[in-house]
């Protein structure tokens, strides 16, 4: 099955991503052709399948070690496999295709814990991560070979297991004449630095800090759960940034940590938002001002990262924004204002003819394609690994070449 796939000049692949915001499953159908160094990718269909509210609530319980019991993790691992399989079938149908027309599925899964810092309490330098959404279930329900659980191979080689999207960005976005910054704003913000004429080892990337995570959480808190995110940035746009709160939030030690670095809900999740809401009890400000301030925090963290980790080596011409944050006009305005003194233009994926929504799903289609073709699919300069790995675990459907005997 895989040998036949490896020989194909053009492969149809479904890529799926579920991020730290826990909004749902992004699924894309793409055709991949061209060479290994310069793949040609065509987006055939994309859709987002929101998690059912009850499932989303259960996932959030798994972010807390005290409630992430093995039975709950095991159950959700298989349930998400079912939901991802359903999302794959749906987007395949949207593309006007059948499952038999698809060669491969690449599914990132849902991260419930990410520990990139070394833990040595038992004598070994352990980094670890947990993504759930069983690949065997996806393969079994769709009849399509499925690649999942990507991050662990990089961490086994001493890397942080993140960020992974820069590998696909290097293949698809690099330019000969200009250094660009690729900024994804999902739950967490991450920046890829793509120098002009970059070689793989010259690309580097890191998590800038919170993306939409704190904005979403604060919006949900001040609206009593009626809004789970600040749609279009309207609530934040009606407020004024509170400089005292912003200055306090800027003291978070993560922003000054050396590279490589990644972060997640463990640092900027519910506990962090609770501290902000506690601050407000003794420093009363309006709902709109609170959302405006945490929105500008995200913009500040991105510009601060450029100043700390990029400007001394490269001067960028553009910041290309993707992810859900690209639809927050207030956040884009804050970024434009803060980057203006550096002469960096802020543009969105859509302005370049790509899709902000589909970008990460497309990336995992590419990562899966490399995996089954036995090609490395990491950038050690980005993750800090000792060498490039072939990431992904392959689950095969029941249809194969007969029983093993």
What pLDDT tens digit does each residue of the chain (405 aa) get?
888 888 899 999 999 999 877 889 999 999 999 988 889 999 999 999 999 999 999 999 999 999 999 999 999 999 999 999 999 999 999 999 999 999 999 999 999 999 988 999 899 999 999 999 999 999 999 999 999 999 999 999 999 998 899 899 999 988 999 999 999 998 999 999 999 999 999 999 999 999 999 999 999 999 999 999 999 999 999 999 999 999 999 999 999 999 989 898 889 988 999 999 999 999 999 999 999 999 999 999 999 999 999 999 999 999 999 988 999 999 999 999 999 999 999 999 999 888 888 989 999 999 999 999 999 999 998 899 999 999 999 999 987 555 555
**Nearest 10 degrees: Cα torsion 269, 261, 163, 232:** 40
- DSSP sequence for 220-270: HHHTTTS-SS-GGGHHHHTS---HHHHHHHTT-GGGGPPSS----HHHHSH
- Angle of helix 70-94 versus helix 53-61 axis, rounded to 10: 140
Question: Is the Cβ–Cβ distance between 15 and 368 less than 8 Å?
Answer: yes
* Token pair recorded at residue 197: 């004429």
* Structure token pair of residue 121: 């309490």
| Full DSSP string of 47-92 | EEEEPPHHHHHHHHHTTSTTT--HHHHHHHHHHHHHHHHHHHHHHH
pLDDT at 401: 58
CB 324 within 8 Å of CB 161: no
- CA 331/CA 382 separation, integer angstroms: 26
Cα distances (Å, whole numbers) of residue 370 to 202, 212, 385: 21, 30, 18
pTM equals 0.83
Q: Phi then psi for 148, rounded to 5 degrees?
A: -145, 180
pLDDT of residue 311: 96
Contact of 371 with 392, CB cutoff 8 Å: yes
DSSP letter (8 states) at residue 336: H
Within 287-346, residue ranges assigned H as helices are 287-309, 329-339
C-beta atoms surrounding 119 within 10 Å: 11
Which pLDDT belongs to residue 21? 76
The whole-angstrom separation of Cα 400 and Cα 398 is 6
Q: Whole-angstrom Cα distance, residue 364 to residue 383? A: 16
CA 42: distance to chain centroid? Answer: 20
CA distance 119 to 111: 19
The tokens describing 94, both together, are 């949207």
pLDDT of residue 345: 97
Whole-angstrom distance, CA of residue 47 vs CA of residue 51: 13
d(CA 203, CA 212): 25
pLDDT number for residue 405: 52
Residue closest to 24 by CA, chosen among 369, 295, 367, 361: 361
Integer angstrom CA distances of residue 301 from 9, 36, 113, 130, 252: 42, 34, 23, 26, 10
Structural contact between residues 306 and 205, judged by C-beta atoms closer than 8 angstroms: no
């Amino acid at each position: 099955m895989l040998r036949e796939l490896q020989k194909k000049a053009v492969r149809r692949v479904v890529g799926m991503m579920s991020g730290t915001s826990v909004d749902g499953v992004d699924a894309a159908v793409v055709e991949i052709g061209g060479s290994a160094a310069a793949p040609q990718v065509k987006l055939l269909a994309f859709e987002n399948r929101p998690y059912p509210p009850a499932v989303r609530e259960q996932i959030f319980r798994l972010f807390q070690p005290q409630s992430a019991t093995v039975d709950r993790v095991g159950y959700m691992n298989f349930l998400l496999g079912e939901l991802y399989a359903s999302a794959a079938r749906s987007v395949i149908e949207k593309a006007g295709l059948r499952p038999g027309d698809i060669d491969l599925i690449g599914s990132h899964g849902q991260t419930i814990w990410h520990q990139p810092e070394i833990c040595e309490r038992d004598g070994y330098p352990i980094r670890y991560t947990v993504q759930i959404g069983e690949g065997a279930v996806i393969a079994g329900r769709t009849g399509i070979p499925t690649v999942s659980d990507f991050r662990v191979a990089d961490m086994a080689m001493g890397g942080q297991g993140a960020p992974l999207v820069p590998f696909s960005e290097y293949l698809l976005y690099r330019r000969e004449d200009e250094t660009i910054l690729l900024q994804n704003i999902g739950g967490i913000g991450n920046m890829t630095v793509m120098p002009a004429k970059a070689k793989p080892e010259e690309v580097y990337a890191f998590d800038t800090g919170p993306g939409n995570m704190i904005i979403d959480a604060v919006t949900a808190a001040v609206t009593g759960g009626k809004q789970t995110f600040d749609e279009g940035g309207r609530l934040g746009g009606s407020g004024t940034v509170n400089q005292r709160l912003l200055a306090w939030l800027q003291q978070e030690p993560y922003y000054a940590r050396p590279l490589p670095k990644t972060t997640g809900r463990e640092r900027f999740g519910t506990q962090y938002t609770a501290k902000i809401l506690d601050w407000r009890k003794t420093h009363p400000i309006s709902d709109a001002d609170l959302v405006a301030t945490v929105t500008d925090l995200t913009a500040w963290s991105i510009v601060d990262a450029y100043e700390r980790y990029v400007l001394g080596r490269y001067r960028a011409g553009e910041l290309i924004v993707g992810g859900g944050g690209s639809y927050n006009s207030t956040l884009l305005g804050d970024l434009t204002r803060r980057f203006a003194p550096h002469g960096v233009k802020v543009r969105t994926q859509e302005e370049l003819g790509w899709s902000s929504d589909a970008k990460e799903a497309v990336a995992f289609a590419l990562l899966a394609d490399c995996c089954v073709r036995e090609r490395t699919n990491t950038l050690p300069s980005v993750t800090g690994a000792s060498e490039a790995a072939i990431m992904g675990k392959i689950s095969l459907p029941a249809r194969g070449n007969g029983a093993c005997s």
